[in-house]
């Protein structure tokens, strides 16, 4: 499956849940609803986590980092 940069940078649908809170509240928050959340501009935004394409990029970046002096 070929994935272009455009595909990865496309805007996605807005999150299903936006919970207003401070950054401090977000850091201390421990939701137990099975979803992941990201903090942005005063809101906890529901997310599904990394997509298959994002995991591929992450693994490649992680492998490259391990080859550097910074990892030692």
Look at the pTM and tell me if it is higher than 0.85.
Answer: no
Q: Are 17 and 38 spatial neighbours (Cβ–Cβ below 8 Å)?
A: no
Q: What is the pLDDT of residues 16-71, one digit of tens each?
A: 789 999 999 999 999 998 888 999 999 999 987 778 888 889 999 999 999 988 76
pLDDT at 1: 47
Name the DSSP class of 41: T
pLDDT at 6: 53
Residue 4 has pLDDT above 60, yes or no: no
The residue among 13 and 23 whose pLDDT is bigger is: 23
**Helix (H) or strand (E) segment spanning residue 36:** strand 36-40
């Amino acid at each position: 499956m070929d994935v272009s940069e455009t595909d990865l940078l496309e805007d996605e649908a807005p999150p299903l849940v936006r919970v207003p809170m401070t950054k401090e509240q977000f850091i201390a928050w421990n939701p137990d609803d099975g979803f992941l959340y990201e903090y942005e501009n005063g809101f906890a935004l529901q997310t599904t986590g990394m997509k298959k394409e994002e995991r591929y990029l992450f693994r490649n970046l992680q492998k490259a980092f391990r080859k550097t002096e910074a990892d030692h």
